[in-house]
Amino acid sequence: MSQHFESVWDAIEDTPAQAENMKVRSALMIELKKHVETEGLSQTQAAKLFGVTQPRISDLLRGKINLFSIDMLINMLATAGMHVELRIAEAA
């Protein structure tokens, strides 16, 4: 019997709360990475823009999600002049 999951996080995380946290963090990381790529920033330039070190940008670009909190990612986005909008919906 196969199971169907809405996202990979639903499949691999132990609880719905952990899955939701990872979904938010991954979405924020994707947007930060897109911003770096769209702007053609080097890791050093991105670090200066986001107010972090170059190794943190390397971790971000490599998708090391466990090294970033939601707060940290939102702070990086805000520092870069980006705005985060939040939508809450009932679970399916």
Whole-structure pTM value: 0.82
Which residue do the tokens 């330039």 mark?
Answer: 45
Compute the distance between CA of residue 74 and CA of residue 92 in angstroms, rounded to an integer: 26
Compute the distance between CA of residue 20 and CA of residue 24 in angstroms, rounded to an integer: 6
Which residue do the tokens 């985060």 mark?
Answer: 84
Q: Mind listing the domains of the chain with CATH numbers?
A: 15-79 (1.10.260.40)
**Structure confidence by residue, pLDDT tens digits, 61-77:** 999 999 999 999 999 99
Task: Report the helix count and the strand count for the chain, using DSSP H and E.
Answer: 5, 0
> Rounded mean pLDDT of 19-29?
89
**Structure confidence by residue, pLDDT tens digits, 42-52:** 999 999 999 89
Compute the distance between CA of residue 57 and CA of residue 47 in angstroms, rounded to an integer: 6
